[in-house]
Amino acid sequence: MDHAAHLKKHFEEGIELRQRMAEILPAQIARAGEALAHALKSGKKVLSCGNGGSAADSQHFAAEMVGRFERERRGVPGIALTTDTSALTAIANDYGFERVFSRQVEALGQEGDFLLAISTSGNSKNVIEAIKAAQALNLVVIALTGRDGGAMGKMLLPRDFHLNVAHPRTMRIQEIHLLAIHCLCEVVDNVLFGEKK
């Protein structure tokens, strides 16, 4: 096998998807980021969740909020629901793995907060349960999905935001999800702290 030629196809496929998503996602991300920034400005917070690579993305997002993105500024309240092993294992043991995020949303979420819910399939049961809990508490959901959006895409409310990467390959979806997360962070920073000079 010519590994270099094979790997070049990954780059070409990634470029093609980025070009296609560049026509679809920027306006959607901008609206979601502006809404999130205004909520944060009014004292609200953002929770985030996902499984596997999406868990890593949810933690990455929370770290950019609490730490910093590309500029020195005060921390912004973001909590990844994927990081507290005591809570995760206790909830999974007592209520089942499907409740590991929803139980935390019920405990930590307040009306007007945001939930960043990430699933490449759009069908992760524990993320779906988190969305249900968020909707019951009047949180706004930003859903990052792939493929056809799955069950998550069908359950969102008019106030929610659906950032869908319509592609069959998980790795490609995750690449665009990370770009979308960085774009959300930039919009939040620009709205809260002024455009970067």
The whole-model pTM stands at: 0.97
Token couple for 12 = 């070409």
CATH of the domain at 150: 3.40.50.10490
Separation of alpha carbons 80 and 116, rounded Å: 9
Q: State pLDDT tens for residues 57-66.
A: 999 999 999 9
Domain boundaries, position 58:
3-193
The SS3 assignment for 79 reads: strand
When divided into structural domains, the chain yields a total of 1
Separation of alpha carbons 151 and 3, rounded Å: 37
Separation of alpha carbons 1 and 127, rounded Å: 39
Q: State pLDDT tens for residues 149-195.
A: 999 999 999 999 999 999 999 999 999 999 999 999 999 999 999 98
Separation of alpha carbons 146 and 170, rounded Å: 8
Whole-number Cα distances in Å, 29 to 62, 84, 132: 17, 28, 22
